[in-house]
Amino acid sequence: MQNRIKLSDVGHFFDTGTDRIDLFENVSLELQAGRSHAIVGPSGAGKSSLLTIMAGLDEPRRGAVTFHVDGRQVDAVGLRARSGFVFQQFHLMPELDALANLALPLRLKGDPDAQDKARNWLARVGLEGRAGHQPSRLSGGEQQRAAIARAFISEPAFLFADEPTGNLDAVTSTAVSDLMFDCARESGCCMVVVTHSEALASRTDTGWMLRDKRLEPIR
Amino acid sequence: MTSASLILENVRSDLKSGDGRIAFAVQGLIAFFLLSLTLASASIQSYLNDNLDQMLGADVVLESFVPLSTVQMEELARHTESLSRTATMQVVLTHGEQWERAQLKIVDDAYPVQGEVTVSRVLGGATDRATHPQPGAIWLGPRLAGVLRARVGETITFGDTALRVDAILEHEPDRLMEGHSVAMRAMVHERTFDSASAGMQGERFRYLIGASEAQESAIRDWQRSELSAARLLSKRGGDHPLASFWQRVENLFGLLSVTFVILGAVALDMTNRRWLEAMQYRLALYQSFGVTLRCGIAMMLAQWAIGFLCACLVAAVLAAVGQLALLDILDDTFPGIAPVWPVAALAQTVGLLALLAILLQLPFILPLMRASVSSLIRSEGRLTPATLRLVSGAAAVSAVALAYTDNWLLTVMILAAVAAGIVLLVLVTWSALWLGDRLFGRRGGLLPFVVFLMRRRITSKTAQVVGLGASALLLLVTLMLLGQIGERLEEQRRTHDGNLVIAEASEAHVAALNEWARETGSEIRSLRPFVRAQLVRVNDRPLADHAGGPSETLATMQEPIRLHWTDPLPANNRVVAGSWWDAGTASWDRISVEEEVMTDLRLELGDALDFSVDGEMRRFTLVSSHVYQPGASSITFWFQVPETARPHIPGTTLFMGTMELPETAWDALPGLWVQHPELILEPIQEITERFDRIVALVKRVSVGFSAFVLLLTMLVIAASVRGFEADDRLRDGLLQTMGFDRRDVARLSLSEWSLTGALAAFGAIGGAWLAGTLIFESQFGLPFRFSPLWVAGTLAAIALMLFIFMALAGSFSRRGSIQELLQGQ
């Protein structure tokens, strides 16, 4: 398999100084390209922590995680170079306008066509008229569309979304979900979504429930 | 929890935050400086007032630079029962092979009017009360007796007069009139000279008068109408001769605090950005609990005021402790000086501090007042327009300048240099980033990306560059100005065209000098004529009224100055306003005045200046203004008139100039002084020693002052890092999600800070050059030499410090997981 992430007996916890809080243990799974996955569960179960471990943003306290990109095993930094992220809080850079925010990952990679590609993506997500606007002047839905475009612009092998519709109303949520799934399907990437939304979770190929420190398949 | 306890709780939590501590430290430092200044100044003024009571030697002293006529003496005597006249002059006394210049006081039988003269028989021996020396005797000050190696009973010579040393002069009750003079001192009776046909001569005449309040008032009226060039000093008036001098010292230091206010404004501007966000959030929460906007803002203001008062309180305690240490140092100059706690003056300073704090805070309070509930809840970050922040900062700086300035030219120069430096920094930042963005275009790599990011954050980056650049500029200017003044003073002696300055010589002296020069192989290099004249009125108004506030120049004008006549414009002068006269002009009543003197005395071309010369008044019309320019002799005159004026001006012609003595001629000097004890010659070496003392003082002041600037600079850097920390953490988190590792992010941050530092340094060097040219050349008349090596070395040290500080601050702020960075934790 060209692109995959494998978790073997992964467990995670954090210490508060006086107590240890265990989030999950013995999690083993494999994420593959071209598929979409949802992780659901109650608040505080550790969904976001599991996502950050899958995405190479954090290391597990127990077990192992391996990443393969384009057929080669890579480290976390290598994985992130081929990943896109969509956050609940959008996390656009406040001082950059919409166009510059989209161009950011390409510029980091030294792509000389960053501006043109960013402009194309803005048009694709329906924000061509907002190119020069800074995030503070965009609505929540517009900011999340810009964030999705930024996540896909560098043709990621993996896309990680943490509550991507958590800050949006029902109608906007649907539009943003449609956009995300369309982009993922077209790019053939592997998409992992952490969500409380049943509607969003039901659209993925696979679903897991994280509860009582265990990850169980629900679909 | 009541509102009051909630406010106190907020104050505590604010002081625990980095921003709160920076703001507290900035307010505290400025308060400490100004409060220390107030306390020290009050102690000095109080000391001088006490001193005035004990050391004037009379109820009233009339001081004049020409002796009163017989008629005037009779008139004065009608107003009092006790009157003593004294005269002082600079002389050279010799004892065997030893010689020394001294200030000789000539007294009459009525001396002293009040207080006691004490003398001793041997150096350091027991003291006795006395009144005045007998004719033919001389009393020597302890230092003078030591230098001349003269003991009581021996004979010393003054010119061709032999004087018997009768006592060592320990204390004179009118010593106060000499101020801080450290001149060697001696006293003789006026009848000593009757026999030697010298008569009552002198350069400065003082009439000690015992007078009731009514008599004093009558004497004052008489002096105003008859003797406007004279000065009246009263025990009751509290106008100590040194009070205005120390007032000026306080003013100078107050003016220098403009620097601190500018740095403080920059630091507060950076921390207030986040303060505003926190307050908006807090207000939103309060309003959601049913608190009205007005009440919420009142709580914020109370919280801010408590923070400010706490800073003032801490500063006041530190200033009080610091004052004790400072007075210990000042005890050398003011023996027995004691601390005072002037409530009114302190309240005034706290008022000024409050005004400054309010002006600097106002731009960040106004958005809260205008904000709607919904915008507060969304926390849309309503930053105050930059213009308003700039205007309020400028108003704060102006407030300090207004409170302390007594030299508008210097004030305007300092402010203009700082303003020019800031404009330069903004221009450098904008053009460099704009050019860089254009140049790198679509190219990849670290530097192009850093430039791209900085260009997008141009407003915040400009604020950082201006903050850091202004700090570096002020630090650089402070070090350069204070350090190089000493250096230039030292250099001045080498620009003297000779090794002996003829400070004052009569025509008879000049003839003797020429003769002596021929005999000893010496050379008179320059000799320029003048008369002693005192500027009394401008456009028919007394000078003090016309000039307004006190200034260095006005203080000097209390005594006669040198009025020089010349037709050609001296080679070391150039005209900056009006026009110089033609040689042999018939309009003899023209006058040219030095530029700074004109500014300080508020003179304008066309003004009528009345001078008192040898007791007579002469009027001149101001037609030209000149400044000193280096390259020729270092002797320059503040007031110059055409040569055709000389026949119209009374008074003895005196000369000032320079001589070059070969090594062998120095031993022959005592012989010259024995013949002409009133001839005032100053070896350059003695001037150099005076310079050395000044340089040592300047160095001490500069170290203390630079330490203050350095402390505030550190706070500006800390504020700069803190102010943009949240944005930087988000950026760093995002970049890591895009495949950057921590080292890349650290490299990017350091590159960004290096570029910021480089832009700030570049602007600061440019600003320092501007300041040097503006202040050095025009204010101090000293040739400004911009030493790139010195500046580069100093800046390298500053840059290294900045780099270490920022790298440390940066690495701390980048601690935590990517998730924490993104969540702003």
Q: Whole-angstrom Cα distance, residue B251 to residue B238?
A: 20
Q: Do B183 and B103 meet the contact criterion of CB atoms below 8 Å apart? A: yes
How would you classify the pairing of strands A72-74 and B60-64?
unpaired
Out of B442, B737, B819, the one facing A114 most closely (by C-beta) is: B442
Between these two residues, B491 and B119, which has the higher pLDDT value?
Answer: B119
* Interface membership of B736 toward A (CB under 8 Å): yes
Q: Whole-angstrom Cα distance, residue B403 to residue B399?
A: 6
Q: Whole-angstrom Cα distance, residue B426 to residue B466?
A: 7
Out of B381, B727, B738, the one facing A80 most closely (by C-beta) is: B738
How would you classify the pairing of strands B639-641 and B561-565?
parallel
Mean pLDDT of B175-199: 67
**A57: nearest CA partner in chain B:** B818
Mutate to test the interface with A, among B451, B737, B751, B818 (most CBs of A within 10 A): B737
With 0.90 as the threshold, say if the pTM is over it: no
Query: B736, A113: Cβ pair inside 8 Å?
Result: no
Mean pLDDT of B482-502: 62
- pLDDT-derived band at B361 (thresholds 50, 70, 90) equals confident
Sort out which chain B residues have CB atoms less than 8 A from A136's CB and list them: 380-381
State yes or no: pLDDT of B278 exceeds 50. yes
Q: What is the interface pTM, i.e. ipTM, of the complex?
A: 0.72
State yes or no: pLDDT of B508 exceeds 60. yes
Residues in contact with B252: Cβ distance below 8 Å, sequence separation at least 6, in sequence order: B404
Write the pLDDT tens digit of every residue in B511-520: 999 999 999 9
How would you classify the pairing of strands B98-107 and B185-189?
parallel
**B741: nearest CA partner in chain A:** A77
Weakest-pLDDT range from A63-77, A169-183, B479-493, B801-815: B479-493
Write the pLDDT tens digit of every residue in A69-123: 998 999 988 888 889 989 888 888 877 789 988 988 887 777 888 889 999 999 9
Q: What is the pLDDT of residue B297?
A: 86
State yes or no: pLDDT of B562 exceeds 50. yes
Mean pLDDT of B313-317: 93
Quote the percentage of chain B above a pLDDT of 70.
Answer: 80
Between these two residues, B703 and B141, which has the higher pLDDT value?
Answer: B141
Sort out which chain B residues have CB atoms less than 8 A from A105's CB and list them: 738
State yes or no: pLDDT of B195 exceeds 60. no
Out of B442, B443, B737, the one facing A85 most closely (by C-beta) is: B737
Q: Whole-angstrom Cα distance, residue B384 to residue B570?
A: 55
Q: What is the pLDDT of residue B187?
A: 94
Q: Whole-angstrom Cα distance, residue A27 to residue A12?
A: 9
Sort out which chain A residues have CB atoms less than 8 A from B448's CB and list them: 107
Query: A80, B737: Cβ pair inside 8 Å?
Result: yes
State yes or no: pLDDT of A176 exceeds 90. no
State yes or no: pLDDT of B498 exceeds 80. no
Between these two residues, B489 and B227, which has the higher pLDDT value?
Answer: B227
Q: What is the pLDDT of residue B778?
A: 58
State yes or no: pLDDT of B493 exceeds 60. no
Mean pLDDT of A198-208: 92
Between these two residues, A18 and B690, which has the higher pLDDT value?
Answer: A18
Q: What is the pLDDT of residue B199?
A: 42
Query: B822, A87: Cβ pair inside 8 Å?
Result: yes
Q: What is the pLDDT of residue A152?
A: 92
Mean pLDDT of B566-591: 90
Summary mean pLDDT of chain A: 89
Q: Where are the beta strands (DSSP E) in B32-152?
A: 60-64, 82-95, 98-107, 117-120, 127-130, 137-140
**A155: nearest CA partner in chain B:** B738
Q: Which two tokens stand for residue B702?
A: 């500069």
Q: Whole-angstrom Cα distance, residue A47 to residue A40?
A: 7
Q: What is the pLDDT of residue A95?
A: 72
Q: Do B279 and B350 meet the contact criterion of CB atoms below 8 Å apart? A: no
Q: Whole-angstrom Cα distance, residue B660 to residue B680?
A: 15
- Geometric angle at alpha carbon B242, from B241 and B246, rounded to 5°: 145
- pLDDT-derived band at A19 (thresholds 50, 70, 90) equals confident
Out of A95, A114, A115, the one facing B460 most closely (by C-beta) is: A95
Q: Whole-angstrom Cα distance, residue A100 to residue B600?
A: 56
Q: What is the pLDDT of residue B398?
A: 85
Write the pLDDT tens digit of every residue in B411-457: 777 777 778 888 888 898 899 988 988 888 767 677 788 888 888 77
Mutate to test the interface with A, among B738, B752, B817, B822 (most CBs of A within 10 A): B738
Weakest-pLDDT range from B175-184, B264-273, B330-339, B601-610: B175-184
Angle at which helix B243-288 crosses helix B408-440, to 10 degrees, equals: 50
Mean pLDDT of B332-352: 83
Query: B735, A111: Cβ pair inside 8 Å?
Result: no
Weakest-pLDDT range from B159-173, B484-498, B679-693: B484-498
Query: B737, A57: Cβ pair inside 8 Å?
Result: yes
Sort out which chain B residues have CB atoms less than 8 A from A95's CB and list them: 456-457, 460, 727
State yes or no: pLDDT of B813 exceeds 70. no
Q: Which two tokens stand for residue B526?
A: 């320059």
Query: B456, A82: Cβ pair inside 8 Å?
Result: no
Q: Whole-angstrom Cα distance, residue B627 to residue B319?
A: 41
Write the pLDDT tens digit of every residue in B367-426: 777 655 555 545 455 566 778 888 888 888 888 888 877 667 767 777 777 788 888 888
Summary mean pLDDT of chain B: 79
Out of A89, A107, A112, the one facing B449 most closely (by C-beta) is: A107
Block residue for tokens 């000789």 = B104
Sort out which chain A residues have CB atoms less than 8 A from B724's CB and list them: none
State yes or no: pLDDT of B200 exceeds 50. no
Residues facing residue B130 across a β-bridge: B117
State yes or no: pLDDT of B495 exceeds 70. no
Q: Could you check whether the bond before residue B112 is cis, i.e. omega within 30 degrees of 0?
A: yes
